[in-house]
Amino acid sequence: MLQNSLRAATQVVEEEQVENPLCALGALVDRGVIERAELEKIVSDSDGSLRRIEKSLWDLGVPKQELLLCFSNHYGLPFVEFSERLTAPREVLDRLDFSELRRELWFPIAATTKEARVAVSSLPAAVLLEKIKSDLGTEAVRLIFALPADIIRMIEHSQDVNSGFPPEAGRTPLARLRTRLASERTKMSFYRTTMAKGRTGLAAIRTGVKFIAISFTLLRIFGIGWLSIVEAVILLGGIFMVAEGIAWYMPLRKLEPKGIGYVPARSTFGTTIPQILSTEVGTVLTRTEPVKGAEDLRNRWSRLSPVMRRRFFAIDRSDLAEERTLLAMYRTRMARSRTGLAFASTGTSVVGFGILLWRNYSVGAWSVFYAGLIMTGVAMFFEGARWYFPGRRAVVESIKTTRQIEESTSIWDFMFRAFSRLDDLPPKLMLKGSYAPGIWGTTGLALERTLLAERRNVKARLRTTLARSRTALRFIRTGTSIFSVGFGLQVYFGFGNILWTVLDFIMIIAGLFMIGEGIFWYLQAERRKKQLPYCWEGLEIRMPDYGKPTQFWKKVTFSYEDNECGG
């Protein structure tokens, strides 16, 4: 019933817009602002929609004040224009549905339990008027006329978005998005810490397997005797270390990092908005369609108000947070790959040791031990090798992403470029030394936060490059292990058995391939590392204090020894 009433109210508003425009705007003809025939054509082409009439008249150069005076006199209401200072109390706005406000074209300028002042573009129907009273919790409503464009802008301003931007561009939704992305990065940091613990467990397993192998080898060579006490101690120590390592490793093996699906994107300077969508496969981080007029608005940066600039900065910081999260995901995948390849490397050594004993000694009762050793090594190898391809993909994708980031325009390039258009020069500000920083200081701090966020992204790219370098070194170590086992067995036993020879050469070729690939990725990562300023140069940063003149800002110097690559 309520929905039907609301639809009826909306229809009444539209009917009034269709019925009254010529009556309301007749004063424009009387004052010679526009010809009657031209006005009638505009009203006819717009189907009486006040929003379309308003735009058409503005396009013809009709002053906004003329329109306000016409409708104010027609409805007998005072009028109001949009202003950034014109905001309703937050406790009132929290109770309202902004989509309904846009559809019904009204906005509360002020509200108390006794009376509310509400901006409207036409006289509301009785049903809608009662709904406004109910929504605002007030006894009476005092109406004030405002053009539809101004009402929409009031709504957008309360949503904290620039003109024409979707609700996802509000600073509160963007802050919520950045918090979610920070949570994802924290989760991936937990994964990497768990993997580090798992790698410690794998080291214990590797050491324990070697102890067990040494113990049985000594028993095989020297038999049972006084040395058996030492062999037993080594055996028990190996079993304990294997059990301890497995206890640390198994939680890692069950860990499957699952978070937001990422669609790689670069900062668009507010022309598209990052958002999280729920899909059949889970939550996905994607972007809205390009916002109409956003690029032109951003390019007129010097003419934007401080509030509009801060909204763009909020979008920029969200873009940078998305980028950092994507890079953290690559580092997590590479850490997982290094963990697995460390296990595969040890598995290869165990296989080689088992094959050496099998081929060097005659077949007998000890063959069960040899076979068990080989099977254990094979299981360890395949357990770790399954993480090779995901790690390789992370290396390739991280290189592609960081290259795209570095080749695109950064926030520094955009903010400190030269504005050559005369009509885009900054407005003159009537400032005195006694003035407090106010909104300009707040905007400056927003700029500073955004620039510092970009610096954090530079360091995130550096960490990703270093992770890629470590992963390449793990490729080299694993390849060296595989090559050494194959080459050593071939040199020791020669070409006596064709099947063993084929296996030896497969291991040699596979090892050489991994060594070559690791060297390629390592050298590339080292070149990228040398190009990043945090590795090789001192860095001096002026720390802004927007409450003081720039000559009083302090400087902070970071030396090579202080940064992540030094020491």
Q: In the predicted model, is pLDDT for residue 116 greater than 50?
A: yes
Q: Which domain holds residue 365?
A: 171-417+431-531
CA 121, distance to chain mean position in Å, is 40
Closest to 451 (Cα-Cα) out of 417, 503, 497, 410: 410
Share of the chain above pLDDT 90, in %: 3
Q: Are residues 219 and 311 in the same domain?
A: yes
For residue 556, the model assigns a pLDDT of: 64
As a whole number of angstroms, the longest Cα–Cα distance in the chain is 122
> Per-residue pLDDT tens for 73-113?
888 889 888 887 777 777 777 778 878 888 888 888 888 88
Residue 423 covered by a domain: no
Q: Are residues 328 and 342 in the same domain?
A: yes
Mean pLDDT over all residues of the chain? Answer: 78
Which of 100-104, 443-447, 520-524, 534-538 is predicted with the least confidence, judged by mean pLDDT?
534-538
Q: Are residues 335 and 404 in the same domain?
A: yes
Residue 536 covered by a domain: yes
Residue 166 covered by a domain: no
Residue 92's φ and ψ, nearest 5 degrees, are -80, -45
Q: Are residues 178 and 129 in the same domain?
A: no
Q: In the predicted model, is pLDDT for residue 374 greater than 60?
A: yes
3-state per-residue secondary structure call for 350-370: HHHHHHHHHHHCCCCCCHHHH
Q: Are residues 57 and 73 in the same domain?
A: yes
Tokens of 118: 């509400």
Mean pLDDT within 258-263 = 58
For residue 519, the model assigns a pLDDT of: 93
> Per-residue pLDDT tens for 151-188?
888 888 877 788 888 888 888 888 888 888 888 888 88
Q: In the predicted model, is pLDDT for residue 8 greater than 60?
A: no
Q: Are residues 347 and 438 in the same domain?
A: yes
Entry pTM: 0.69
Q: Are residues 486 and 558 in the same domain?
A: no
For residue 513, the model assigns a pLDDT of: 93
Residue 257 covered by a domain: yes
In angstroms, the Cα distances linking 450 to 53, 266, 274, 316, 321 are 40, 15, 16, 7, 10
Mean pLDDT within 188-217 = 82
Last residue of a domain, one of 114, 133, 158: 158
Which of 133-147, 294-308, 430-444 is predicted with the least confidence, judged by mean pLDDT?
430-444
Last residue of a domain, one of 158, 187, 204: 158
Q: In the predicted model, is pLDDT for residue 69 greater than 90?
A: no
Q: How many domains does the chain have?
A: 3
For residue 512, the model assigns a pLDDT of: 94
Q: Are residues 278 and 381 in the same domain?
A: yes
Q: Are residues 310 and 343 in the same domain?
A: yes
Q: Are residues 291 and 357 in the same domain?
A: yes
Which of 37-51, 326-340, 485-499 is predicted with the least confidence, judged by mean pLDDT?
37-51
d(CA 272, CA 287): 6
Residue 163 covered by a domain: no
> Per-residue pLDDT tens for 420-475?
555 555 555 444 555 444 545 677 778 888 888 888 888 888 888 888 988 999 89
C-alpha dihedral, 351 to 353 to 359 to 365, nearest 10°: -90
Q: In the predicted model, is pLDDT for residue 267 greater than 80?
A: no
- The residues with which 3 forms a beta bridge, in sequence order, are none
More confident residue, 318 or 93: 318
For residue 18, the model assigns a pLDDT of: 38
Q: Are residues 204 and 131 in the same domain?
A: no
More confident residue, 564 or 442: 442
In angstroms, the Cα distances linking 1 to 8, 101, 127 are 11, 19, 12
Neighbouring C-alpha atoms within 13 Å toward the C-beta of 156? 18
> Per-residue pLDDT tens for 379-428?
888 888 888 888 888 888 888 888 888 777 777 777 766 555 555 555 55
Residue 426 covered by a domain: no
- Quote the Cα angle for 83-87-88, to 5°: 150
Residue 425 covered by a domain: no
Last residue of a domain, one of 137, 158, 179: 158
Residue 165 covered by a domain: no
Tokens of 559: 């030396």
Which of 101-110, 235-244, 317-326, 557-566 is predicted with the least confidence, judged by mean pLDDT?
557-566
Q: Are residues 203 and 272 in the same domain?
A: yes
For residue 9, the model assigns a pLDDT of: 37
Mean pLDDT within 473-486 = 89
For residue 432, the model assigns a pLDDT of: 52
For residue 215, the model assigns a pLDDT of: 84
Which of 73-82, 366-375, 517-526 is predicted with the least confidence, judged by mean pLDDT?
366-375
